């Protein structure tokens, strides 16, 4: 079994979006006390850790990913005492606590940015990325912002542009300045000393920019010109993924190594080299894990899952991935993959059985254990700037961020006593509340079964993984020496041959007969090899 220091290796983390988990004070916004109240539910699943999306002081232009105080708790979430109580309760339940760290950019309300923009010669003048305009007054280069428009914002006081990869209210730190690195590492030390067990590092490959501010070339992939946002029409060769990033990541790792049993998982977002970058960022004394975007899209084929996992371990044999199917930035996976299913519950269970059998660490997103799909929102209900800017071609991220549902018949499905919540709770989501899923065939009960199986079978946590050559739509692989995992990734019946005698541990819609296995739509089996 794994040593305590390496608890993260093969672990399962449950992502909590604090605004939407549980509201304890009736203001319509989830908070830390609410999370603490509901931690027993998370512990009952059998996960190892929780990950909290940002809880720091923020103007909330990007729902907390615009930080104005890295060592303060935003009043909408509670107090530092509430955070300490959450840590104590989580640790008492055997749950590690991982918090988001947003080190690539801050809020334009951060005191250091306010000072930086006041003049070109103040002590914080070069703590953010400033550049002169071109002679015609246009931005320094062609870099685009992810949320739309140029990646540069004009500031009349300094008569310069500042860089923002996201909203204009999220200026980029200048990490080429060692003082900035020291400051950000100091804020991380604050939380480590407070008892957190690790960090999820937001946009970890965005920390550094090209010092020469060279233009990004056009996106060479065929879908580039059809993208709904200009950002995706570029190959971001110079605005991110710079070599200096790796040296700073090593400084982060050195800091965590001063403490016992702490971990890092970095969000590596890239449309061109994501697997290669994941390998770079988790090799040597860098990150412990890299969080993958590779399974957060519409592709649901055996070849896709196999290629992503095989490529990672081929390119990064000493690295370690963290796989996920859903999070707060993408449509929930049951809805994304519903065209590949006849029944959403069968799909939800199959997805859990597949994800939780992969080699690597795993991240689950709140509500996926209920089989939730996105909430259908109208334009006037949106809060997400990405959705507001790109509506209706892209509806943004609010659909997957609506509140967690606890009691189907309660006000706001038990999330809040407020008359109105920050995002609405609607009937289709309330119908899948926790209290409706006590039956043995529920999605929630299946998650508990699958997580218990992962904990009890060392091969599912630590074992090797080898894919089987099977006809489409069957995905198959072995874990360790003793387990076989087979999945029908289609809404139709399917079958395959087997040379093994199998003793099922967990299955759905599968008939074993001689040397053939018959699968119902979205059928699967996780089985132990036995002597013939």
Joined tokens for residue 395: 């509806």
Alpha helices for 158-286 (secondary structure H):
178-194, 244-256, 274-282
pLDDT (0 to 100) of residue 31: 98
The separation between the first and the last C-alpha atoms of the chain, rounded to the nearest angstrom, is: 29
Q: Contact, 436 vs 414, CB < 8 A?
A: no
Q: Give the angle 47-104-293 at the CA atoms, nearest 5°.
A: 45
Q: Which residues make Cβ contacts (< 8 Å) with residue 166, sequence separation at least 6? A: 62, 65, 105, 145, 146, 147
Q: What is the per-residue pLDDT for 514? A: 80
What is the set of active-site residues?
A: 202, 258
Residue 447 token pair: 């998650």
Buried-state track 402-431, b at ≥16 Cβ within 10 A, e below 16: bbbbbebebebbbbbeeeebbbebbeebbe
Q: Let me know the angle formed at the C-alpha of 102 by 6 and 45, rounded to the nearest 5 degrees.
A: 45
Q: How far apart are CA 399 and CA 20, in angstroms?
A: 12
Query: How does strand 49-52 pair with strand 361-365?
Result: unpaired
Q: Are 161 and 168 in contact (CB under 8 A)?
A: no
pLDDT of residue 250: 98
Put simply, whether the predicted model's pTM sits higher than 0.75 gets the answer: yes
Q: How far apart are CA 525 and CA 498, in angstroms?
A: 12
Q: Token digits for 403?
A: 């509140």
Q: How far apart are CA 184 and CA 509, in angstroms?
A: 51
Cβ neighbours of residue 82 closer than 8 Å, sequence gap 6 or more: 31, 32, 33, 36, 73
Among candidates 282, 278, 310, which has minimal Cα distance to 293? Answer: 278
Distance (Å, whole) CA 490 – CA 512: 18
pLDDT at site 2: 54
How many whole angstroms separate alpha carbon 301 and alpha carbon 322?
A: 19
Q: What is the pLDDT along the chain (532 residues), one digit of tens a residue?
A: 456 899 999 999 999 999 999 999 999 999 999 999 999 999 999 999 999 999 999 999 999 999 999 999 999 999 999 999 999 999 999 999 999 999 999 999 999 999 999 999 999 999 999 999 999 999 999 999 999 999 999 999 999 999 999 999 999 999 999 999 999 999 999 999 999 999 999 999 999 999 999 999 999 999 888 898 999 999 999 999 999 999 999 999 999 999 999 999 999 988 899 899 999 999 999 999 999 899 999 999 999 999 999 999 998 888 999 999 999 999 999 999 999 999 999 999 999 999 999 999 999 999 999 999 999 999 999 999 999 999 998 899 999 999 999 999 999 999 999 999 999 999 999 999 999 999 999 999 999 999 999 999 999 999 999 999 999 999 999 999 999 999 999 999 999 998 888 999 999 999 998 889 999 999 999 999 986 5
* Phi/psi of residue 183, nearest 5 degrees: -60, -50
Instruction: Report the run of H or E that residue 4 belongs to, with start and end.
Output: none
**Res 3: pLDDT:** 67
Q: Look at strands 361-365 and 12-16 and give their pairing.
A: parallel
Ramachandran area for residue 137 (φ above 0: left; ψ -120 to 50: alpha; else beta):
left
Tokens matching residue 52: 């909290």
Beta-carbon contacts of residue 163 (< 8 Å; ≥ 6 apart) = 128, 129, 130, 131, 143, 151, 152, 171, 172, 209
Q: Are 55 and 67 in contact (CB under 8 A)?
A: no
Cis before 473 (ω within 30) = yes
Find how far residue 150's CA is from the centre of its chain. Answer: 26
């Amino acid at each position: 079994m794994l040593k305590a220091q390496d608890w993260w290796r093969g672990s399962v983390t449950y992502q909590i979006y604090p605004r939407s988990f549980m509201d304890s004070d009736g203001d319509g916004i989830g908070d830390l006390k609410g999370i603490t109240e509901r931690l027993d539910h998370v512990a009952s699943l059998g996960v190892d850790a929780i990950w909290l999306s940002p809880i720091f002081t923020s103007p909330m232009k990007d729902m907390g990913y615009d930080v104005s105080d890295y060592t303060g708790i935003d009043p909408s979430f509670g107090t530092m005492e509430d955070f300490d109580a959450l840590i104590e309760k989580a640790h008492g339940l055997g749950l590690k606590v991982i918090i988001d760290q947003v080190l690539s950019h801050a809020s334009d309300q951060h005191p250091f940015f306010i000072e930086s923009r006041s003049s070109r010669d103040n002590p914080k003048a070069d703590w953010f990325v400033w550049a002169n305009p071109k002679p015609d007054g246009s931005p320094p280069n062609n870099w685009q912002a992810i949320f739309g428009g140029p990646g540069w914002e004009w500031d009349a006081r300094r008569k310069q542009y500042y860089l923002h990869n996201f909203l204009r209210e999220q200026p980029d730190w200048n990490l080429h300045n060692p003082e900035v690195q020291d400051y950000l590492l100091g804020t991380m030390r604050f939380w480590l000393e407070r008892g957190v067990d690790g960090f999820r590092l937001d946009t970890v490959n965005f920390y550094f920019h090209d010092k020469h501010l060279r233009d990004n070339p056009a996106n060479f992939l065929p879908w580039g010109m059809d993208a709904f946002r200009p950002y995706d029409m570029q190959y971001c060769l110079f605005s991110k993924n710079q070599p200096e990033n790796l040296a700073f990541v090593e400084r982060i790792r050195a800091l965590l190594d001063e403490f016992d049993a702490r971990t890092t998982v970095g969000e590596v977002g890239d449309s061109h080299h994501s697997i290669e970058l994941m390998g770079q960022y988790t090799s040597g004394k860098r990150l412990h894990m890299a969080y993958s975007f590779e399974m957060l899209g519409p592709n649901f084929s055996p070849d896709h899952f196999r290629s992503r996992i095989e490529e990672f371990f081929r390119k990064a044999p000493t690295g370690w991935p963290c796989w996920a199917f859903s999070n707060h930035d993408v449509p929930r996976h049951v809805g994304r993959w519903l065209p590949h299913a006849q029944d959403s519950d069968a799909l939800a269970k199959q997805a859990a059985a597949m994800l939780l059998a992969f080699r690597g660490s795993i991240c689950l997103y709140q509500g996926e254990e209920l089989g939730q799909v996105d909430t259908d929102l109208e334009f006037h209900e949106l809060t997400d700037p990405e959705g507001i800017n790109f509506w209706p071609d892209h509806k943004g991220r609010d659909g997957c961020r609506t509140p967690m549902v606890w009691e189907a018949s309660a006000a706001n499905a038990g999330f809040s006593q407020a008359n109105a919540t920050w995002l609405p709770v609607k009937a289709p989501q309330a119908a899948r509340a926790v209290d409706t899923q006590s039956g043995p065939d529920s999605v929630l009960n299946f998650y508990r079964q699958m997580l218990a199986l992962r904990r009890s079978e060392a091969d599912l946590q630590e074992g090797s993984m080898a894919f089987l050559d099977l006809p489409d739509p069957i995905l198959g692989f072995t874990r360790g020496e003793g387990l076989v995992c087979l999945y029908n990734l289609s809404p139709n019946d399917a079958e395959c041959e087997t040379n093994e005698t199998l003793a099922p541990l967990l299955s759905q819609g599968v008939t074993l007969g001689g040397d053939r296995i018959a699968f119902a739509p979205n059928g699967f089996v996780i089985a132990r090899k036995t002597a013939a």
